[in-house]
Every structure is written in structure tokens, then in C-alpha cells.
Amino acid sequence: MWLENFIRRSIADVEPYKPGKSIEELKRELGLTRVVRLCSNENPWPLPDSVLSAIDEASKMLNRYPDAEAYSLRKAIARKLGVSVQEVIVGAGTEGVTFALFQALLEEDDEIVISKPTYPLYKLAASACGANCVEVPVDHDMRISVTDIMEACTEKTKLLVLCDPNNPTGLFLPRNDMLVLSSFLNRRNILLVVDEAYAEFVTDPEYLSGIELFHEIGNVVILRTFSKIFGLAGLRVGYGIVPKPITNAYAKVRRVFDVNSIAQAAAIAALKEDNYVEKIRELTLLEKEKVTRALVNMGMEVRETVTNFILIKVNDEQKMFNELLKEGIIVRPASDLGLQGYLRVSIGLPEENEQFISTLRKLMRRLGDRV
């Protein structure tokens, strides 16, 4: 029992992050042969040949350690986004970057401000550093109030972390609001961290890319990932655009070989595939429109997003989630992410979306008002 005293007090009441159920896990549990996974907002389409070739070539050197600095990858990102290599950090997915970044920046009893609901790993990463997390609820339209989030900042606030577009609400902070917020934080010496995991899916001109903000203000951190539109979720590559002093601090605490050699090679190749990214965006948005229309025609309430997922209002999300699992369909109860009463559903391949719609229609007929 004495080992319980060794556990960090700041994480005593923290719930571990709940990842989406894997295909193999569900097959084992229910003896299913075919499973549709629509729970983790992945890109379901095949990777381009150039990325597959890069993976194959890099696999020939697996007996060697990867480049610890990931210099070629950082250089490719810097060139793509118009920043210097010294302003690029990389890690094992957004969470890898976030945990190391917070370790470099946060002291015991510092505060970070986040919206609620949002991506749970910000709170986990802050707690792991002994920092406190101030959560600001979104309004009745699931939108973030700039006024509320600024009022939540105190003398102890060191970071304001904004998922933009937000997960799980799928909405973003409009351009003018982002400019007002970033200017306020800069005056207060509070660092704005913007997680743009879904940025490449956004087509609305009111969306202010964090890269624009970085070029204009400088004192911001922009986080992005290769796990979504680029289709490299299994290789775990995330990166950040940060002020140079933060790059130096990050280098002191990051895991040395955080991004393996295959992941580095695949990400470099993926950055060159502008046409592929455009194609995936178009396919995703088209499928999202089709899925939304079908669900609305079924009488479902669907919350539109600017991302590659939608939110479906249900009376009993856990029951519907479990019923879908039995049919081999994995979605995500939004309550796992702090949003009650909704299922978060990723946009899959056309045939996967059709199977989801037909299965949901069947369940609605069978369960009726009980869902």
C-alpha cells in the first residue's frame, strides 16, 4: 500500500484518456469478421504511391536509429509553411508534442485555460506537470465565448490551449475573435497554443489559420498532425510551429528518438502530396454531406462540423453505441470527450458510410424511442 504514496497527487483524480475501440479488439470480443471503424477521425482512403514508396525505402534501414533531430522532416515542414527550421518541433503525434511541450513550459501550480468540452489530453498533460486546468464551458450553440475565456485568465495563467476546429464540437473560432483573443493574451504574457489537427479540412474563409497568426504575432504555438488528412495515424507524427526560445526548451525534455525513421520518411513524402490532400478534403466533405442528408431524412438531429466527423443527437448515447458495436460499427460516445447526448461519427469510405446508415436505420426501427 505504501506505493500509493508514490503516485503524483496532481493525477489522483484524472481519468485516463479513452481511445476509440480498435477493429481487432471488437472482432475478438464479439467474434465478428467485418468491422467498420468510424470512431477516431482517421483518413480511410489509401495512401499515395509516393508515401508507400518512401515507407518501403526507409524500412531497409531499420537496423539504424532514426535522425534524433528529424532535421529533414523539420526542414520540409519549415519550407512548406514559410518558417525557419528552428521554429519547428516534432513528436509522436499531437499528444507526444503536447506532453513534452507542457513539461518544458509548466511549473507546479501554473494554470492553463481550455474550453469544455475539448480534447482531453490537454488536461492530462497539464496534470502530469502538476499544473491546474481551468475549464470554460462552451455556450448553448457549442461555441467558445472569447469574453468568457479571457475572463478566466488570471495571474497564474501561463497557457491558453485552443483546439481549433474543436474536438468534439467540430467548430472554430472566427477570424476576428481569434485576433482579439491573441492580442489580449500577448499583452498579458500568456502563451496561446492552437491545436489545428483538423485545419486542412476547413474551407470557410472566416477560419484564421494559425500559421497566419504565427507570422503576424509570433508569440503563439501552432500544433498540427499527420494523423488526419495525411493518413499517417499509425505512424504517429505531430509537429509544432513555435517561437525559437520554446524550441530550445522543448529539445531539453523531448524523447530523443520520438519519431521513427519510417514515420519521418512518410511524413516528408506526404508533405509533397498537395493534390492528394485536396482530393481527400473533397471526398470527405462530399461523403459528409451525403451522410448528413441521409441521417436528417431519417429524422436524426445532426450537428454540422467543419471537420471530418459529425455529431448525432441521441437520447441514450451509450445504448446506441453498444447496439452499433454489436452490429460491427464503431463510433464514439461524445461523453468520452465531455459532450453528453451525442455520438461522434467519423466520415469513412462510401461503403462504410452506407453500412453505418443502413445499420442505424435498422436499429432505429427496432429500438424506436428507446434510443
Q: Cβ neighbours of residue 93 under 8 Å, at least 6 residues apart? A: 225, 227, 236, 237, 238
Q: Measured between alpha carbons, how far is 180 from 173 in angstroms, rounded to an integer?
A: 11
**Mean pLDDT value of segment 281-288:** 98
Asked whether the predicted pLDDT for residue 174 surpasses 50, the reply is yes
> pLDDT over 70 for what percent of the chain?
99
By the 8 A CB rule, do 360 and 343 touch?
no
Average per-residue pLDDT in the chain? 94
Structure confidence at residue 370 as a pLDDT band (50, 70, 90): very low
**Predicted confidence (pLDDT) per residue in 46-72, tens digit:** 999 999 999 999 999 999 999 999 999
Among candidate residues 283, 299, 193, the one with its CA nearest the CA of residue 240: 193
What pLDDT score does 24 carry?
87
Strand (E) or helix (H) holding 137: strand 132-137
Burial class from Cβ neighbours inside 10 Å (0-12, 13-18, 19+) for residue 188 reads middle
The larger pLDDT score, comparing residue 298 to residue 18, is at 298
The larger pLDDT score, comparing residue 311 to residue 8, is at 311
Structure confidence at residue 79 as a pLDDT band (50, 70, 90): very high
By the 8 A CB rule, do 217 and 185 touch?
no
State the sign of the Cα–Cα–Cα–Cα dihedral 324, 117, 339, 358: negative
Asked whether the predicted pLDDT for residue 371 surpasses 70, the reply is no
**Predicted confidence (pLDDT) per residue in 324-334, tens digit:** 999 999 999 99
Q: Please, what are the domains in the chain?
A: 2-46+275-370 (3.90.1150.10), 49-273 (3.40.640.10)
**CA angle, residues 307, 216, 133, in degrees to nearest 5:** 60
Structure confidence at residue 278 as a pLDDT band (50, 70, 90): very high
Cell 525534455 belongs to 253
**Predicted confidence (pLDDT) per residue in 118-165, tens digit:** 999 999 999 999 999 999 999 999 999 999 999 999 999 999 999 999
**Predicted confidence (pLDDT) per residue in 250-269, tens digit:** 999 999 999 999 999 999 99
**Predicted confidence (pLDDT) per residue in 210-242, tens digit:** 999 999 888 999 999 999 999 999 999 999 999
Strand (E) or helix (H) holding 111: strand 111-116
DSSP letter string, 301-333? EEE--SSSEEEEE-S-HHHHHHHHHHTTEE-EE
Among candidate residues 253, 263, 251, the one with its CA nearest the CA of residue 69: 251
What pLDDT score does 32 carry?
86
What pLDDT score does 46 carry?
97
| Rg from Cα positions in the chain | 21
By the 8 A CB rule, do 339 and 117 touch?
yes
Structure confidence at residue 18 as a pLDDT band (50, 70, 90): confident
What pLDDT score does 263 carry?
98
State the sign of the Cα–Cα–Cα–Cα dihedral 196, 202, 208, 209: positive
What pLDDT score does 258 carry?
94
CA distances from 295 to 31, 195, 329, 341 (A): 28, 29, 16, 16
DSSP letter string, 17-72? P-PPPPHHHHHHHH--S--EE-SS----SPPPHHHHHHHHHHGGGTTS---TT-HH
pTM equals 0.94
How many Å separate Cα 193 from the centre of its chain?
A: 13
